[in-house]
């Protein structure tokens, strides 16, 4: 016998083959207890006789995994090495199945080490991810590849269903059909939830039912499925499932490894979600503060129709100049706020001066020159804006010292103020004023060149001449485009419910059909029983459905209400399975809020062109036998 199974010293078992701990983890402490009894009997025999060695038999049963189930009888050779010290060696000849188990355990240890490396790498880099879902996607892919899985999915329990959160190796058809699942009819997942521990099946077609039929189209042959619960506060938050195209016996010995990995995985994602929540909250707060500033500026500028939007445009020009000066994002953000607030002090300028349609006289001009100080004093009241106070206060100072309010000269003028000065002048010259029309870009360029080094910083003027004309033309085009888009939208929208007019969708379909452009379309219809409800109840249901659609569906999905009960959907160049998944999700949300189950359908053109007349009417030429 060549395998050292155990070392007995004194009255204790000092060493045991690693296989012993594996068997204990598989079958419990009784396995090792039977080994202790067998060794103990042999040692008593040797101590009470002159024998140097004796034989024994270690018997135990394995009930998992399937391929190793059975009763095992292991021959033992117990040797007396040093009787006084009580040292005994126990030898055996491991059978082939036990050698396989031992080999798998070594493989398990290697995989466990690699799994920890994945978690360590992800936990260090996760802060750079834009979302927890992207992080989950990366972890799933690396973990599946490590274990040799062909596909993997992570599902979380929300709103009474097990919804898709992240996946690897699954196509859009499968994800569209099983974006959310109910587990009541799936024995495999019922066991997972009931026992709250890892589940393995080598008979997925029976254990997973219809879900396995579709999964086998992605993973073929579908030989094994492993699911690990994600547990938080003694409740299952979700689970990870892995699908294999060949059996992986090592997974039977990785219960602890997989469960620990899954829960560490969930913990990392939770930390990432919290971090992203903090970042998003900070961004929302920042945006809210910016919105407040913008609203305040807009309110100030409404006094003068000629300067409406001036501060926003100055901010756009100033930011462009700062980028070409290679400022960092933080400095650019501060400059943008300074540009928005640079003229806020005009609230202290009398209307008779501010709104005067003629050039100002000397006294009026002296009063107008106070507005940079007024603006700076207002901004200085905000603790977080102290850095931009000098930029606001000195944005009308000139390089030759002839500016106001303090006559600063050259480099004594802060760089931020010099940038604002050029941006402010550019917008003033390219905008209409009560006493003149906007100047052409050629005229503006000529004036800027003449004032370079005298009124404005020459380097910044050079950048303005090179880049700001493009920004100006783009802003002008956007302004005109927005107006045209608004007019078009007014003709396309049903102003009573905020959805598109059915006639507009019909025209779009007609254009797509005539040009033979593929598109996806669908329908959601409330049951006829809605008509039996009181008028107020019917209206409430319709409003609820409409609100859910507007909240959950966005461009490029176009939605119109065709009849009182039916909504239709149109998406050019889209994935049908994705639309079907979205319609399913909508119907679930409607059911949750109204107890009404909507009839949904989705089709694609030209493959199912005969369905177009059923949804959009008046396309009889597309009808054909199925």
Q: What is the mean pLDDT of residues 256-284?
A: 65
The per-residue pLDDT for range 24-57, each reduced to its tens digit, is 877 888 888 889 899 999 999 998 888 999 999 9
- 287 confidence band (pLDDT: 50, 70, 90): low
Backbone dihedral angles phi then psi of residue 92, each to the nearest 5 degrees: -155, 170
Note the pLDDT of residue 596: 81
Contact 464, 316 (CB under 8 A): no
Which tokens sit at 471? Answer: 């920004």
CA 323, 324, 325, 326 torsion: positive or negative? positive
Backbone dihedral angles phi then psi of residue 295, each to the nearest 5 degrees: -60, -40
The per-residue pLDDT for range 119-177, each reduced to its tens digit, is 677 666 555 544 566 677 777 888 888 889 999 998 888 766 788 888 888 876 787 77
The per-residue pLDDT for range 542-596, each reduced to its tens digit, is 889 988 888 777 656 888 888 889 999 988 766 777 788 888 888 888 887 887 8
Assigned fold of 104-276:
Beta-Lactamase (3.30.450)
Contact 602, 520 (CB under 8 A): yes
Q: With 60 as the cut, is the pLDDT of residue 111 above it?
A: yes
Assigned fold of 502-622:
Alpha-Beta Plaits (3.30.70)
- 292 confidence band (pLDDT: 50, 70, 90): low
Q: Where do the domains of the chain lie?
A: 3-94, 104-276, 302-483, 502-622
- 353 confidence band (pLDDT: 50, 70, 90): confident
**How, if at all, do strands 224-232 and 12-16 pair?**
unpaired
- 284 confidence band (pLDDT: 50, 70, 90): low
Note the pLDDT of residue 402: 93
Considering only residues 477 and 422, tell me which one the structure prediction assigns the higher pLDDT: 422
Considering only residues 515 and 52, tell me which one the structure prediction assigns the higher pLDDT: 52
Note the pLDDT of residue 272: 55
Total residues belonging to the chain: 626
Q: Which residues contact 424 (CB under 8 A, 6 or more apart)?
A: 314, 342, 395, 396
Q: With 80 as the cut, is the pLDDT of residue 65 above it?
A: no
- 372 confidence band (pLDDT: 50, 70, 90): very high
Q: With 60 as the cut, is the pLDDT of residue 455 above it?
A: yes
| Domain covering 302-483: architecture | Orthogonal Bundle (1.10)
Whole-angstrom distance, CA of residue 301 vs CA of residue 309: 7
Whole-angstrom distance, CA of residue 478 vs CA of residue 344: 25
Q: With 50 as the cut, is the pLDDT of residue 626 above it?
A: no
The per-residue pLDDT for range 14-23, each reduced to its tens digit, is 888 888 887 8
Whole-angstrom distance, CA of residue 232 vs CA of residue 577: 33
- 307 confidence band (pLDDT: 50, 70, 90): low
Whole-angstrom distance, CA of residue 354 vs CA of residue 512: 54
- 245 confidence band (pLDDT: 50, 70, 90): very high
What region does 160 belong to: left with phi over 0, alpha with psi -120 to 50, or beta? left
- 373 confidence band (pLDDT: 50, 70, 90): very high
Q: Please list, residue by residue across 460-487, b when 16 or more beta carbons sit within 10 angstroms of its beta carbon and e when fewer do.
A: bbebbbeebbebbeebeeeeeeeeeeee
Q: With 60 as the cut, is the pLDDT of residue 481 above it?
A: no
- 320 confidence band (pLDDT: 50, 70, 90): confident
Q: What is the 3-state secondary structure (H, E, C) of 88-118?
A: EEEEECCCHHHHHHHHHHHHHHHHHHHHHHH
- 234 confidence band (pLDDT: 50, 70, 90): confident
Q: What is the mean pLDDT of residues 493-504?
A: 74
The mean predicted confidence, pLDDT, of the chain is 81
Considering only 81-85, 313-317, 460-464, 543-547, which range has the smallest mean pLDDT? 81-85
């Amino acid at each position: 016998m060549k395998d050292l199974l155990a070392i007995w010293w004194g009255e204790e078992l000092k060493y045991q083959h690693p296989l012993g701990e594996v068997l204990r983890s598989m079958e419990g402490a009784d396995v090792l207890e039977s080994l202790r009894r067998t060794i103990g009997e042999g040692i008593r025999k040797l101590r009470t006789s002159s024998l140097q060695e004796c034989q024994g038999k270690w018997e135990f049963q394995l009930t998992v995994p399937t391929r190793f189930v059975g009763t095992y009888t292991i021959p033992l050779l117990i040797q007396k090495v040093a009787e006084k010290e009580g040292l005994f060696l126990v030898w055996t000849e491991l059978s082939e199945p036990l050698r396989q188990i031992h080999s798998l355990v070594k493989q398990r240890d290697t995989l466990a080490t690699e799994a920890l490396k994945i978690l360590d790498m992800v936990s260090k880099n996760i802060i750079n991810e834009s979302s927890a879902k992207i992080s989950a996607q990366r972890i799933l892919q690396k973990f599946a590849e490590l274990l040799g899985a062909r596909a993997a999915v992570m599902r979380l329990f929300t709103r009474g269903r097990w919804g898709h959160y992240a996946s690897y190796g699954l196509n859009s058809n499968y994800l569209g059909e099983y974006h959310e699942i109910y587990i009541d009819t799936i024995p495999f997942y019922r066991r997972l939830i009931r026992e709250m521990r890892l589940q393995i099946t080598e008979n997925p077609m029976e254990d997973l039912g219809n879900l396995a039929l579709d999964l086998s189209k992605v993973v073929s042959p579908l030989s094994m499925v492993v699911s690990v619960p994600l547990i938080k506060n003694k409740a299952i938050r979700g689970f990870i499932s892995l699908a294999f195209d060949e059996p992986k016996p090592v997974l039977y010995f990785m219960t602890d490894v997989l469960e620990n990995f899954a829960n560490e995985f969930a913990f990392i994602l939770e930390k990432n979600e919290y971090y992203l929540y903090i970042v998003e909250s900070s961004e929302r707060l920042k945006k809210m503060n910016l919105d407040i500033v913008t609203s305040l500026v807009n309110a100030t500028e409404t006094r003068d129709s000629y300067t409406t939007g001036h501060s926003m445009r100055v901010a756009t020009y100033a930011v462009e100049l700062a980028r070409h000066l290679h400022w960092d994002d933080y400095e650019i953000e501060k400059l943008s706020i300074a540009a928005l607030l640079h003229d806020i002090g005009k609230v202290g300028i009398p209307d008779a001066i501010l709104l005067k349609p003629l050039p100002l006289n000397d006294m009026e001009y002296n009063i107008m020159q106070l507005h940079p100080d007024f603006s700076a004093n207002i901004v200085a009241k905000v603790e977080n804006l102290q850095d931009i106070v000098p930029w606001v206060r000195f944005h009308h100072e000139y390089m030759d010292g002839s500016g106001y309010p303090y006559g600063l000269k050259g480099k004594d003028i802060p760089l931020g103020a010099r940038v604002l000065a050029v941006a402010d002048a550019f917008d003033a010259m390219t905008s209409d004023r009560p006493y003149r029309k906007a100047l052409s870009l050629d005229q503006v360029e000529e004036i800027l060149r003449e004032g370079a080094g005298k009124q404005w910083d020459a380097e910044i003027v050079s950048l303005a001449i090179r880049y700001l004309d493009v920004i100006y033309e783009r802003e002008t085009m956007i302004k005109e485009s927005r107006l045209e888009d608004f007019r078009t939208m007014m003709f396309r929208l049903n102003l009573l419910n905020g959805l598109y007019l059915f006639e507009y969708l019909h025209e779009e379909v007609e254009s797509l059909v005539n040009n033979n452009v593929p598109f996806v379309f669908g329908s959601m219809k409330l049951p006829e029983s809605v008509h039996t409800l009181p008028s107020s109840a019917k209206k409430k249901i319709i409003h609820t459905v409409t609100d859910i659609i507007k909240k959950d569906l966005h461009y490029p999905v176009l939605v119109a209400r065709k009849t009182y009960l039916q909504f239709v959907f149109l998406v050019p160049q889209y994935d049908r399975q994705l639309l079907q998944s979205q319609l399913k999700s909508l119907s679930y949300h409607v059911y949750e809020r109204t107890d009404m189950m909507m009839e949904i359908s989705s089709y694609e053109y030209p493959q199912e062109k005969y369905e177009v007349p059923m949804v959009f009417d008046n396309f009889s030429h597309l009808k054909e036998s199925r």
